[in-house]
Structure 1
């Protein structure tokens, strides 16, 4: 792995305490990079950092706090050197009917996923301009085709895709690359928690076979890091997701047809509940931001 373009460079990964972020940190470190792990839960970040094969540091930071994120960027520069790559991975989700959702929690998804990604770029872009670096925005299949009962998450992921496209056009002439990573269902605690809710689980089950599959997190991370090494403008994990781009204009009609058939039956079987923050990462963000997870309630 020492032949990797990432070798002996500093790479920042946000949301690195678990899931995709932690797996990305391992893949990046295996390629000889120095890895800075940012996020909530300092103890979990420290554990990931300690498990990496090369130099690493854990910095606790809330990516929605620009002042704190700027301090984290200073700490990374002092501890590992100026970053050559930044992966904006941190994200949270909630599920359930829009009217049943907690307005503050709904906005928090937007703040973390979209505003937090922009803050991450703002804090580290001076380094990337200096190093001719690369910014990889983790998006989702939800950026291409929005789904019901996940309005905040879908809106935020569509937003980060647009943000990354805009930023790429703005900084390309200055030698900085910007990529968008589209990932499908990945075996993380967020997805496992979502699967506890029958309506979310069954809606995923109505997707075409490749799209409904949950992919191992290490396989997804390895593919993302290969894109990171090549400074791709678009990275797809799994690779078949690129086939959704030419037909994305037709996807809302397909989702509407499926939802019209499935949701009435699912609502008749049991109330469709608001989930609150999904997964340990969502709960950690709620705790760190001083929010209390709302008990599930019916949206019917």
Structure 2
């Protein structure tokens, strides 16, 4: 059991903080005395979250796939807070579609945001984390542990960030920086609710309980954090999951593909308000972008 290091007075940077898990995490950390820097694509939402967090919060509009915007956010955070103690790479989007019908740009954008965005975020903030000998928490997913038919871009990106975070953890330790991976199942956020509407029978897990587990993991500088307790039980048997999923998911996958085909191209769009915000931001920067 690792000793706990309270977050009071520490500077915590959270990406994807305009809503959902990132916003709830920022509010709970601020309530415990942390100073929080909120990064995201929705300035109006970020301002609301920052106001709820209090005077020790600041927000920065930032696309985590854009190195220039990340550099500007790093400079802004350093100017405001003089350093960073904790980095939570949470920004992410998702889409549900079989590969056969998926719009290619939207499919690949999920991987760019979730995987490359996380890598670029850590690269940008790493000098400040090294200076403070801080802690980096990568938000992954249950999808990193189990095959994910019909959301393969999301599953691939989350398996990728898990591999990245666990590998770089050793590199970080050389500099006194801690690293960890957080796993969550379907949680009651905008993204979770959007996903549940297209997946019948999906149970949404309590957001506050999941966030409390993340805060505890941050305070312990834990290598593994579980938003829901049952996920811990799956890690030792992850090698068995591909065969199980393959046997039980073919029928639902066939029905899902038929539904997507009937819905048309819009079914391949990133889901939820966060996905729409990313699509809007991309189209604003590049009018030729589609999807």
TM-score over 0.5 for the pair: yes
Alignment match, 2:208:
218
Q: Which 5+ residue runs of structure 2 have no aligned equivalent?
A: none
Classify 1:265/1:17 alpha carbon distance in 2 versus 1 (closer, same or farther; 3 Å). closer
Structure 1 CA distance for aligned equivalents of residues 260 and 277 of structure 2? 29
Structure 2 CA distance for aligned equivalents of residues 131 and 158 of structure 1? 28
**Correspondences of 1:1-300 after superposition (within 5 Å):** 5-197=6-198, 201-202=199-200, 205=201, 212-264=202-254, 271=261, 273=263, 274-290=267-283, 294=291
Equivalent pair of 1:29/1:54 in contact (CA under 8 Å)? no
Classify 1:272/1:141 alpha carbon distance in 2 versus 1 (closer, same or farther; 3 Å). farther
Q: CA deviation at 1:275?
A: 3.7
What TM-score, normalized by structure 2, do the two folds share? Answer: 0.92
Q: Secondary structure at the match of 1:213?
A: coil
Alignment match, 1:208:
none
Structure 2 CA distance for aligned equivalents of residues 58 and 37 of structure 1? 4
What TM-score, normalized by structure 1, do the two folds share? Answer: 0.89
Equivalent pair of 2:194/2:272 in contact (CA under 8 Å)? yes
Q: CA deviation at 1:293?
A: 6.8
Q: Secondary structure at the match of 2:93?
A: coil
Structure 1 CA distance for aligned equivalents of residues 77 and 277 of structure 2? 23
Pairs aligned (count): 281
Q: CA deviation at 1:265?
A: 5.3
Classify 1:266/1:288 alpha carbon distance in 2 versus 1 (closer, same or farther; 3 Å). closer
- Output one character per residue of 1:138-181: Cα deviation in whole Å (capped at 9) or x when no partner: 00000000211001100000000000011101121211001000
Question: Which of structure 1's runs of 4+ aligned residues deviate more than 2 A?
Answer: 194-197, 260-275, 291-294
